[in-house]
Amino acid sequence: MKLRSLVAGVGLVLTLAPRARAQTSSDLDALLNQSIVSTPSKGSETDATAPATSSVITADELRRYGIRTLDEAIDYLSLGMATSTPSHAVEIGARGVQINGDYGNHVLLLVDGHAVNEPWNGTAYFDRGAGVPFEMIDHIEVILGPGSVLYGAQAMLGVINIVTKRAKDFSGARIVAEGDASLAPHDPGGPPAPSLGAALGYGYRLGAGYGREFSLGGAPSELTLGLEYYANQGPAWQLGPQAYGADAVTGAPKDFGPNATPGVWGGVLRHADYLQAPAAYLRFATGDFHASVRASAFRRSTIYPESLAAYTADFDDPTNREIDRFVNVDLSQRVPLSSRVELMVRGYGDLYDYQWFNHTSAAEDCPDGFTSGCDRFLHGVGRQLGAEANALVQWPILRATTLFGVDARVRDAEDRLTIADRLGSGTLTPTAAHRTDGLIAPYAAQTLSPTSWLDLNLGVRLDDDSRFGTKLSPRTALGVAPWRGGRIKLIYAEAFRGPSAYELTYADPDSQIAAPSLGPETVHSIEGSVEQRFGKHRVLFGVFRSTWSNLVGTLQLSQPELDAAIARGELAPDTAIAYRYANTVSVDNYGLNAAYEGAAVNGRLRFGLNFTSAITHVDPGDGSGPQIPPVAPEAFGNARVSYDLGGKLPTLGLASHFSGRRLADRYYDGGFTPPPSAPPSLSLRATVSGAFPAVPGLTYRAGFDYSFARVEPYAIGANIYANANVSRAELAPTRRAQAFVGFEYAFEHAAAY
C-alpha cells in the first residue's frame, strides 16, 4: 500500500482531475466510455488497462465526421499518427518519425488481426489502398509505439487494426453510393487556369454489403460480406512551368512527352491523376471457427515525377502508374482445453503483386542507346503461407494469464525489372531476383493483476528469420490506478523491421546494386502516460522517447565499390553514380502526446482534441550528422466537435487537423535556395449526416472540406534537384477543396418499418 500511496500522492499533484467525485453515475459513465481493444495483447481488454497508448475510432465517429478513408480517420481522429500525401499513396508517420518512401512498411496494418503488409516489401496502404469496404468497419484501433512483441516485423511506429462489424451490427443487405468533387489550388503564377468545370476532379464509390446470423449444425454462425469500388479522376493541376533545358544525351531540349513543350516541364495536368480501388471482404464464423478473405486492388497514376514513385516521367502521361493487388486468407479455430487453458490454431495465406510502369521520352533518363526514351516495368510478387498456435493459460491466483505461442511462415518473393526502348527496338536484359525464405517466431506474454489497481504485462518474441537471423522483441508494461478514474502507465518496448525481399534483391543496372547482407531495423521505446476519466470525459497526457538504429538508407557507392560492381556486371559499364541499400540511418526522438475527449447534453454534443509534439533528429549515416527529418511534422494534431440535433434532424460534425511546418523531402540534398518546406497546414471538414425520415433504411451524409495548405512537402517535376536553370523547388500541390455526398440504403431497416 505504500507504493500505492506514494503513486497516488504524486498523481494528485499532477492531475487536474476533479477530486473525490464519487458519484456512481460518473463512474458508470466513465466505464461505458472506455474503449475495448484487442490489438495490444491479442485479447479483449480496455484501452485503459492495455499495455499501450491507443486511440479507438468508432464507426459512429467515422459517420459523424464524414470520414471516408483510413488516412482521413488517422488525421482527423487519431492520437499520435499523421499522414502526408505525395502523388502515389499517402505516407504515414507517428510521433514525429516518418520514414520517407517506405510504402507504409513501418506500421503494421491489421484487418481483424490479420497482417496485410505484404511479403515482398512489407507494403501497406493507409488510404483507399487499405482495401476494406468502409461500411464494414466497426472500429479502428490505433496503437502507438513498438508492437513486435506479439506481431513481429513492421510494427515499429505502431499497429493499426481495422475491426469489422459482426453480423448483428451489419445485418441484412445494403447498398452504398457516394460521389465527390475536388478542386486543385489556383496558382496565379502558373500556367493558364482552366475553367471551373474543366478544373474539377470527381470520384464515386459504389458498395454493397450483406450480413446474417444463422445456425449451422446447431452452432451459432454468422457471415458478413462487403464489396466496394472507388474511382477518382483528379482535378486539373497547374504545374510548373519548370525550365529544364537540354537533354544531356541528345543536346536538344529535353523531351517531356507530347503534353509539354520541349525543355520545359509543366502545364495544366488533366489526364495523369486517377485512382481505382476495388475491395471485397468476407468474414465467416461458426462456433469457434473463424474465416476471412480479403481481396483488393489499388491502381493509381504517378501524377508527376518525385522522389518516391518516379524520378522521371513524361508530363501528364496517364500510362505512368502503379498497381497493387492483395488477397489475404485467414482461418482460425479456438479450442478450450480445460477451464484454465484455451488453445488457438490459425492458418493464413497472402498473395500480392505490384506493377510499376514508368515511361519517359527523354534519352538522358534511359540507358545508353535508348535515344527515343524508354519504358520501365517493375513487377514484384510476394506469397506466403503461415501457421500460428498459441495457448492462453488462466491462473487461479493473482488474476494472472500466460500466453505462449509460435508463429511460422514461409515466404516466396520475386521481382523483375524490364527496361525497353520506347520504339521497341531494344530491351536491356531484365534484372530479376527470386528468393524463398521463412521465419519461426515463438512468443510469450505474462500478465499479472494482483490487485484492482496494479497491472503488469511482460512479453517477448524471438523471430528467427532466414532473411537476417534472429531478433528479440521484448515489452514491459506497468499500469497503476492510484486514484478514482486515474491510470498511470509505463511501457518499454522494442520492435524491428526485417529487410524486405525487395531491399535485399532490387537492382537497376543504371543506378543500384543489390544489398543481400542487410540487417533488421530496430527501435527501442519508453513511454509514460497519465490518464484521467471523469464521467464522459477523458484526459491523457504522455511522454515518449524512442531510438532507432540500422534503418535502411540509400548509400552512394564509393569509386572502388562502383568499379567492382561494374566489373561483376551488376552495373552498366558507363555508370558514374550508383547506390545500394545499407543499414546506415539512426533516429533519436522524444516528445509528448495529449488527448481530451468528452460529451455533454446527454451525449448529443461530442468533442475531442489530440496533440503531439516531437523533437526528432535523424542521422543519415553519411557523415552529415543529425538533422531534423524531412516530411515528418514536429507538431500536429486534430480537433473535432459534433452535435446530434435529435429526432429526425441530422448530426452536424466539424473536424480539423493541423500540422506544423514540414521540411520537404529534398530540404537537405536538393540544392535549392531556400531549402524547401511546407508551411503549417490546417484542414477543416464539415459534415451533415442523418436518416431520411420519409424513406426508412436510407441514410445520408454530405461534407465539405477545405485545406488552407497549398503544398505537401515533396519536391516534384523535372527539377527534383536544383540545377543551372532552377533554384527554387516546386512542391506537390494539395487538393484545396473537396465536397462529397453519399447514401446508404439498408434493406433490413426498411423492412422493419
Partner 1 sequence: MGVALGVLSWVREGRTQTVEVPIRLQAELLSKVVAYDRNYAERARGRATVLVLVKASDPESARVGEQIKAELAVLDDLGGLPHVEELVRYSTPAGVAEVVKSRGAAVLFVSVGLADEMNAVARALVDVSILSVAAASSYVERGAVLGFDAESGRPKLVVNLEQARRQKVAFKPEVLKLARVVP
Q: Quick check: 1 binds partner 1 (CB under 8 A)? A: no
Q: What is the DSSP letter of 136?
A: G
From the CB of 231, what's the least distance to partner 1, in Å?
28
Closest CA to 185 of 731, 674, 742: 731
Grid cell, residue 140, equals 479502428
From the CB of 453, what's the least distance to partner 1, in Å?
9
Q: Quick check: 5 binds partner 1 (CB under 8 A)? A: no
Using the rule CB under 8 A, which residue among 17, 56, 268, 417 binds partner 1?
56
Report the phi/psi class of residue 671: left, alpha or beta, with left for phi > 0 and alpha for psi in -120 to 50. Answer: left
Using the rule CB under 8 A, which residue among 177, 193, 216, 572 binds partner 1?
216
From the CB of 405, what's the least distance to partner 1, in Å?
18
Specify the amino acid at residue 542: G
Question: How far, CA to CA in Å, does 111 sit from each of 46, 117, 184, 206, 207?
Answer: 19, 10, 33, 21, 18
Listed ranges 134-142, 418-426, 567-575, 690-698: which one lies at the site for partner 1 (CB under 8 A)? 134-142
CA 493, chain centre distance (Å):
21
SS3 category, 717: coil
Closest CA to 53 of 745, 667, 624, 594: 594
Burial class (CB within 10 angstroms; exposed 0-12, middle 13-18, buried 19+) of 381: buried
Q: Quick check: 169 binds partner 1 (CB under 8 A)? A: yes
Q: Quick check: 723 binds partner 1 (CB under 8 A)? A: no
From the CB of 289, what's the least distance to partner 1, in Å?
6
Could you tell me if 121 and 354 are in contact, meaning their C-beta atoms sit under 8 angstroms apart? yes
Q: Quick check: 451 binds partner 1 (CB under 8 A)? A: yes
Listed ranges 57-65, 353-361, 464-472, 680-688: which one lies at the site for partner 1 (CB under 8 A)? 57-65
Task: Indicate the residue among 393 and 592 with the shorter CB distance to partner 1.
Answer: 393
Using the rule CB under 8 A, which residue among 4, 60, 641, 749 binds partner 1?
60
Using the rule CB under 8 A, which residue among 138, 187, 464, 748 binds partner 1?
138
From the CB of 549, what's the least distance to partner 1, in Å?
35
- Sign for the CA dihedral angle at 145, 147, 148, 154 comes to negative
From the CB of 137, what's the least distance to partner 1, in Å?
9
By CB under 8 A, how many residues form the interface with partner 1? 53
Listed ranges 210-218, 224-232, 414-422, 627-635: which one lies at the site for partner 1 (CB under 8 A)? 210-218
Task: Indicate the residue among 427 and 451 with the shorter CB distance to partner 1.
Answer: 451
Listed ranges 263-271, 322-330, 391-399, 716-724: which one lies at the site for partner 1 (CB under 8 A)? 391-399
Q: Quick check: 728 binds partner 1 (CB under 8 A)? A: no
Using the rule CB under 8 A, which residue among 135, 141, 350, 437 binds partner 1?
141
Site string for partner 1, 253-292 (x = CB under 8 A): --------------------------------xxxxx---
Residues 6+ apart with CB under 8 A from 519: 468, 469, 499, 550, 583
Task: Indicate the residue among 202 and 395 with the shorter CB distance to partner 1.
Answer: 395
Q: What residues from 303 to 362 belong to the interface with partner 1 (CB under 8 A)?
A: 333-334, 336-342
Query: Bridge partners of 36?
Result: 46
Could you tell me if 537 and 516 are in contact, meaning their C-beta atoms sit under 8 angstroms apart? no
Instruction: Calculate Rg over the CA atoms of the chain.
Output: 26
Using the rule CB under 8 A, which residue among 188, 192, 197, 218 binds partner 1?
218
Using the rule CB under 8 A, which residue among 36, 248, 567, 682 binds partner 1?
36
Q: Quick check: 394 binds partner 1 (CB under 8 A)? A: yes
Listed ranges 10-18, 55-63, 98-106, 701-709: which one lies at the site for partner 1 (CB under 8 A)? 55-63
Grid cell, residue 28, equals 458508470
Using the rule CB under 8 A, which residue among 37, 480, 513, 691 binds partner 1?
37
Tally Cβ neighbours within 10 Å of residue 266.
25
Grid cell, residue 120, equals 515482398
Q: Quick check: 420 binds partner 1 (CB under 8 A)? A: no
From the CB of 5, what's the least distance to partner 1, in Å?
16
Q: What's the CA dihedral at 734, 374, 122, 280 to 10 degrees?
A: 70
Listed ranges 171-179, 260-268, 393-401, 571-579: which one lies at the site for partner 1 (CB under 8 A)? 393-401
Q: Could you give the strand order of the β-sheet that contains 137-144, starting from the edge strand earlier in sequence?
A: 53-58, 137-144, 158-164, 107-111, 114-115
From the CB of 347, what's the least distance to partner 1, in Å?
14
Could you tell me if 684 and 656 are in contact, meaning their C-beta atoms sit under 8 angstroms apart? yes
From the CB of 336, what's the least distance to partner 1, in Å?
4
Using the rule CB under 8 A, which residue among 10, 12, 14, 28 binds partner 1?
28
Q: Quick check: 112 binds partner 1 (CB under 8 A)? A: no
Q: Quick check: 647 binds partner 1 (CB under 8 A)? A: no
Using the rule CB under 8 A, which residue among 33, 85, 554, 725 binds partner 1?
33
CA 48, chain centre distance (Å):
24
Task: Indicate the residue among 35 and 677 with the shorter CB distance to partner 1.
Answer: 35
Task: Indicate the residue among 219 and 601 with the shorter CB distance to partner 1.
Answer: 219
Could you tell me if 426 and 372 are in contact, meaning their C-beta atoms sit under 8 angstroms apart? no
Task: Indicate the residue among 163 and 722 with the shorter CB distance to partner 1.
Answer: 163
From the CB of 247, what's the least distance to partner 1, in Å?
57
Closest CA to 254 of 326, 173, 312, 180: 312
- Sign for the CA dihedral angle at 310, 313, 315, 316 comes to negative
Q: Quick check: 219 binds partner 1 (CB under 8 A)? A: yes
Query: Up-side HSE of residue 104: CA atoms within 13 Å toward CB?
Result: 30
Residues 6+ apart with CB under 8 A from 655: 65, 66, 76, 77, 638, 639, 640, 684, 685, 687
Task: Indicate the residue among 341 and 472 with the shorter CB distance to partner 1.
Answer: 341
Question: How far, CA to CA in Å, does 22 sit from each of 28, 30, 94?
Answer: 11, 12, 37
From the CB of 110, what's the least distance to partner 1, in Å?
14
Query: Bridge partners of 392?
Result: 342, 403
H/E run at residue 76: helix 70-77
Question: How far, CA to CA in Å, does 160 sit from each of 40, 57, 307, 544, 585?
Answer: 10, 11, 26, 19, 25
Q: Quick check: 511 binds partner 1 (CB under 8 A)? A: no
Closest CA to 714 of 673, 662, 749, 753: 662
Q: Quick check: 510 binds partner 1 (CB under 8 A)? A: no
Task: Indicate the residue among 86 and 133 with the shorter CB distance to partner 1.
Answer: 133
Q: Quick check: 601 binds partner 1 (CB under 8 A)? A: no
Task: Indicate the residue among 338 and 559 with the shorter CB distance to partner 1.
Answer: 338
SS3 category, 664: coil
Q: Quick check: 429 binds partner 1 (CB under 8 A)? A: no
Could you tell me if 329 and 369 are in contact, meaning their C-beta atoms sit under 8 angstroms apart? no
| C-alpha–C-alpha distance, residues 41 and 50, integer Å | 7
Q: Quick check: 21 binds partner 1 (CB under 8 A)? A: no
Q: Quick check: 446 binds partner 1 (CB under 8 A)? A: no
Residue with cell 558507363: 574
- Sign for the CA dihedral angle at 116, 120, 126, 131 comes to negative
From the CB of 104, what's the least distance to partner 1, in Å?
23
Using the rule CB under 8 A, which residue among 24, 429, 558, 559 binds partner 1?
24
| C-alpha–C-alpha distance, residues 69 and 298, integer Å | 13
SS3 category, 364: helix
Task: Indicate the residue among 138 and 561 with the shorter CB distance to partner 1.
Answer: 138
* Contacting residues toward partner 1, per CB under 8 A: 24-25, 27-29, 31-37, 44-46, 49, 56, 58-60, 138-139, 141, 163, 166, 169, 216-221, 285-289, 333-334, 336-342, 394, 396, 399, 449, 451-452, 602
